[in-house]
Structure 1
Amino acid sequence: MLKKVACPACGIEFEALSQPQGQPVFCPNCASEVDPDRGTALEELGGYRLTGLLGQGGMGQVYRALAPDGTAVAVKVMAEESAESPELQERFDREMEIMASLDHPNIVKVIERGRTGAFKFFVMELIEGTTLRHLIREGRLAEPDILSIAIQTLRALGYAHARGIIHRDIKPENIMLDRAGTVKVTDFGLARKLSFEGPALTATNAFMGTENYMSPEQKINPKAVTHRSDIYSFGVVLYEMLTGGMLPLGIFQPPSAYRPLHDFWDNLVFRLLDLNPDLRPANCDDIAQELETFRQSPPSAAPRPAAPGAGAPSSPANAQGATARSMEDEIRREEARIKKKFQEMCEQAQALVHREEFDAAAKTWEQALAFTSDVAERENIQNWIRLCQNKLAERQARQAVVFLCPRCLKPFSLEPDRPPPSRLDCPTCGGTIGYDAHKKRWLPLGDPVNKSPASAETPGRKEKPQTASPAGVNLRQGLLGMVAVLLAIDLWNPDRLDRLIQQLLALAPWLGLSQGTAGLALRFIIYLVVIYWGCGLAYSLYDYQRPSQDTTPDDHTIFRRK
């Protein structure tokens, strides 16, 4: 809430925004930390009387307020102190500018913008209603409701696109409906103007939006999106409305697989969710016109089958037919129950994934496998299970305890939940090491596995096994000698090396390289080999000057991965 607090150090009063996460508030005069809970609630902001908190967003808080004329409005407030980066401040200003420039019956209207004290704010019309997410969770929307919501949403997006504005975050939470059923598109905090020439607010390849609703091209390059990215996001929302909350992830089923629908819906959804943006519909107005035509002239419904026994005398054959139809009805009801249970488990698993409870989510996905025999659905669930397993593996890797081997000084990791074993073989050098619980360090035990008998006679040095053949050694020495000669020529007389390169290019004109390019490449290879040889020499000197294997290092041999 907005509060007026007094600094106990310097005594000045200032306005502060109490954060629900318990973040500290500092005095703007002396920088002393102040407890905002001890302040008094601020009842008025810029002439608007605040009556309650409606919600908390990523860039500020939204309050219910009363205008000077008594009209109920919504006030979105952002404190400058609450943003650690000027990027959020710039994004908040851009949201105010974009929403103030839009005047459409299906877009939340901005009434006023202002600033008072330490706060920036803008006043919007108050929507007395609910969000599309709430309607989807309550149950399946009727087809006329879906048509109305879709057409109004498309009209709002088409209006914004015609003015060069891309929303970039279309999802059910950002589509509101008032009590009369009028759609209001809100939250333009991530919107982008195609003609904007100011500083970029998006880091390179940074996610901007909600992942499940982002188009493929938006995930790859968020700054290169077009209005077709909003069309893809609307396709995901339409799929959710038609299926009762399912998301089109991976290889997904058409909406008609979840409820009886006309083929028009399947064709439209697949067009909206095409991976190629050029194959999606050209603009939102064309899609809205298609939906309007479908609503005004729907296809004729198929005739229903006659009731059992109607207009015919009762007979054993009629009785058997009635029994068969009753069994078919029971089978259909059971299939509907299984499908509903499957959808509930999928929604529960997705909620667990969003809360990063990957272990429970993987178990829920495995249980959901028993409720479907569809190949595509099972493959989709297997992808979710693999995702959860990968997330768990990454979490365990971050929490793993890493030790240093006292023999080779190379790190190795152990599971954090288990105590270190008293004896094990180093996975790098193969030497046997033991853990001293009193000293809390690893100590070498016996001889390493790859240690030769000759090295046992000289414990002061670590002998490396000879793995290279004599021919390989000669070839390596010859290459090093050639590189040394070329390096000497380049350092002493570079023009001579250029003439040598020109002669070689004359012998091999099929390479198609210029003298400058060939010279640059050759010098790069020469200096790369020199650097590699120098690093190898330094490592060899370090290896021979290392203390014996039986000497326990004095530094710590354990650290935790950050």
Structure 2
Amino acid sequence: MPGLDVGKIWLDKTERRLLLGRGQFSHVHRGKLNGSKEVAIKWIVVENQPEAGYNQIAAIKQDTQRSKREDEALRLLDHPNVIKLLHVEEENSIKYFALELCAATLHQYCMRLYNGPMPPVAVVLLHIVRGLRHVHCKGFAHRNIEPKNILISKSFPTRILLSDFGLSKSVSNLSGSYSVSQDRSINQDGQLLWLAPELLDNPDDQGFSEKRGSIASDTFSAGCVFFFYLTPGWHPFGSGLDSIYMNILNGKPVILRCKFTRGTTSIQEHD
């Protein structure tokens, strides 16, 4: 079989149809475990490469830190509504995670890019809550709850699963809080659309105040995801990164006008 064998894992990095997702130094491919079981293979460069430039080295270091966090969290989490880590291999400065293969993301469903089986609406929300509760009870804050990181299982009955624990952080105190003053990894592009206000940089504070997040910050993000799923596809704080950022920071959700016509719902922002 053409492709790459890494211990018990097989994948073909050259076959585009097997590519499920990608980052700057991490990719997710459809692959196999133990020769037959179909899985998702997430592979991450975990050491500096000789040809890497300064910016690439910084990105690799960040992805290495993410891979360690994800490995630590997924080894301790075991719940029907959390993505299952099946196996880990490392070879030639690359770490390979074999994960449960899913059908789609919640984002794809809301954007009408997936029309396969789904649980009832209330069950979708319940699965997200149950998965997040398990994460918190195990002493972790997820810190990256968004529609693209919530998956729809291929197995029946269909389950909703939390995924991508690269930004997760262990919390040991009763409030489940953590400092984010020195951690800039959570403020990346689209992640800002779903972050709680206490995690965002306020242009007026000049960077002097120490920000602290908590497990309640995950709950805020989950609430935004609920709205996005139920509308579907609308963010509760508006549209456009800059607008959403400032509306979250100022606690100003948009007012939506709903129009029902022949069993369908039309939603518009209301000034």
Aligned Cα root-mean-square deviation (Å): 3.2
Instruction: Tell me the CA shift for residue 108 of structure 1.
Output: 0.8
Structure 2 unmatched ranges of 5 or more? 13-17, 202-208, 238-251
C-alpha distance in 2 between matches for 1:57 and 1:122 = 15
Matched with 1:236 is 224
Matched with 2:6 is 45
Matched with 1:131 is 105
Matched with 2:23 is 57
Secondary structure of the residue that 1:225 maps to in structure 2? strand
Instruction: Tell me the CA shift for residue 69 of structure 1.
Output: 4.7
Matched with 1:225 is 213
C-alpha distance in 2 between matches for 1:98 and 1:213 = 21
Instruction: Tell me the CA shift for residue 245 of structure 1.
Output: 1.4
TM-score of the pair, normalised by structure 1: 0.36
Instruction: Tell me the CA shift for residue 161 of structure 1.
Output: 0.2
Instruction: Tell me the CA shift for residue 223 of structure 1.
Output: 6.0
Matched with 2:248 is none
C-alpha distance in 2 between matches for 1:241 and 1:102 = 25
Relative to structure 1, the CA distance from residue 163 to residue 77 in structure 2 (aligned partners, 3 Å threshold; closer, same or farther) is same
CA contact (8 A) 2:180 2:212 kept: no
Structure 1 unmatched ranges of 5 or more? 1-40, 261-331, 344-371, 379-562
C-alpha distance in 2 between matches for 1:215 and 1:186 = 19
CA contact (8 A) 1:61 1:78 kept: yes
Q: Which amino acid in 1 is paired with 2:23?
A: G
For residues 375-390 of structure 1, what are the structure 2 equivalents within 5 Å? 377-378=270-271
Secondary structure of the residue that 1:84 maps to in structure 2? helix
> CA offsets, 1:449-473, max 9 Å, x none?
xxxxxxxxxxxxxxxxxxxxxxxxx
Matched with 2:184 is 206
Which structure has more strand as a fraction of its residues? 2
Relative to structure 1, the CA distance from residue 231 to residue 58 in structure 2 (aligned partners, 3 Å threshold; closer, same or farther) is farther
> CA offsets, 1:463-511, max 9 Å, x none?
xxxxxxxxxxxxxxxxxxxxxxxxxxxxxxxxxxxxxxxxxxxxxxxxx
Q: Which amino acid in 1 is paired with 2:83?
A: V
CA contact (8 A) 1:205 1:222 kept: no
> CA offsets, 1:189-246, max 9 Å, x none?
11111149xxx99663736151121111111489621111111001101111222211
Matched with 2:167 is 190
For residues 258-269 of structure 1, what are the structure 2 equivalents within 5 Å? 258=258
Relative to structure 1, the CA distance from residue 185 to residue 251 in structure 2 (aligned partners, 3 Å threshold; closer, same or farther) is closer
C-alpha distance in 2 between matches for 1:87 and 1:163 = 24
Query: Which residue, out of 13, 34, 57, partners 1:84?
Result: 57
Relative to structure 1, the CA distance from residue 165 to residue 114 in structure 2 (aligned partners, 3 Å threshold; closer, same or farther) is same
C-alpha distance in 2 between matches for 1:133 and 1:58 = 20
Instruction: Tell me the CA shift for residue 59 of structure 1.
Output: 4.4
Matched with 2:87 is 112
> CA offsets, 1:307-351, max 9 Å, x none?
xxxxxxxxxxxxxxxxxxxxxxxxx56xx99x84x74xxxxxxxx
CA contact (8 A) 2:10 2:31 kept: yes
Q: Which amino acid in 2 is paired with 1:47?
A: K
Which structure has more helix as a fraction of its residues? 1
Instruction: Tell me the CA shift for residue 125 of structure 1.
Output: 1.7
| Alignment of 1:166 onto 2:136 | no
C-alpha distance in 1 between matches for 2:122 and 2:185 = 31
| Alignment of 1:122 onto 2:97 | yes
Matched with 1:252 is 254
| Identical positions, percent | 26
Q: Which amino acid in 2 is paired with 1:190?
A: L
Relative to structure 1, the CA distance from residue 95 to residue 44 in structure 2 (aligned partners, 3 Å threshold; closer, same or farther) is same
Secondary structure of the residue that 1:66 maps to in structure 2? strand
CA contact (8 A) 1:87 1:201 kept: no
Instruction: Tell me the CA shift for residue 110 of structure 1.
Output: 0.9
Which of the pair has the greater relative contact order for Cα pairs under 8 Å at 6+ separation?
2
Relative to structure 1, the CA distance from residue 229 to residue 48 in structure 2 (aligned partners, 3 Å threshold; closer, same or farther) is same
> CA offsets, 1:345-402, max 9 Å, x none?
xxxxxxxxxxxxxxxxxxxxxxxxxxx7xxxx22xxxxxxxxxxxxxxxxxxxxxxxx
Secondary structure of the residue that 1:120 maps to in structure 2? strand
Relative to structure 1, the CA distance from residue 231 to residue 222 in structure 2 (aligned partners, 3 Å threshold; closer, same or farther) is farther
Secondary structure of the residue that 2:164 maps to in structure 1? coil
